[in-house]
Amino acid sequence: EIVLTQSPGTLSLSPGERATLSCRASQSVSSSYLAWYQQKPGQAPRLLIYGASSRAAGIPDRFSGSGSGTDFTLTISRLEPEDFAVYYCQQYSSSPLTFGGGTKVEIK
């Protein structure tokens, strides 16, 4: 099973700042089969990034993903008020599919 470790657990930032979220895998994620999701309280997760760096339909270009192998990053270039939420990475290269523990981006 591929274990995903996200850091930091909580990121306290102000609107307009840059957010950098990390996701580290316990073994290589083949073909960069890594996705990022955003979840707000009381809502289902929403797909942001797939294939490590491809933005899903309708996702603003302030969201970007990078990385390969075992180290992946989600960057939000300038935080908007609606971006404060919890973010999860997920690997879908092998079963069982696994998620990281999440990073909460909160307003400073």
Partner 1 sequence: QVQLVQSGAEVEKPGSSVKVSCKASGGTFSSYTINWVRQAPGQGLEWMGRIIPIFGTANYAQKFQGRVTITADESTSTAYMELSSLRSEDTAVYYCARAFCGGDCSVYWYFDLWGRGTLVTVSS
Determine the size of the site formed for partner 1 (CB under 8 A): 24
Q: Could you tell me the smallest distance in angstroms from the CB atom of residue 70 to partner 1?
A: 18
**Does the protein bind partner 1 through residue 59 (CB under 8 A)?**
no
**Segment near partner 1 (CB under 8 A), from 11-19, 49-57, 62-70, 77-85?**
49-57
Burial class (CB in 10 A: 0-12, 13-18, 19+), 52: buried
C-alpha angle 15-16-21 in degrees, rounded to nearest 5:
85
**Does the protein bind partner 1 through residue 2 (CB under 8 A)?**
no
**Does the protein bind partner 1 through residue 41 (CB under 8 A)?**
no
Pairing of strands 63-68, 71-76: antiparallel
- Residue in the block written with tokens 């999440």: 102
Q: Is the peptide bond before 41 cis (omega within 30 degrees of 0)?
A: no
State which of residues 62, 70, 73, 99 lies at the interface with partner 1 (CB under 8 A): 99
**Does the protein bind partner 1 through residue 97 (CB under 8 A)?**
yes
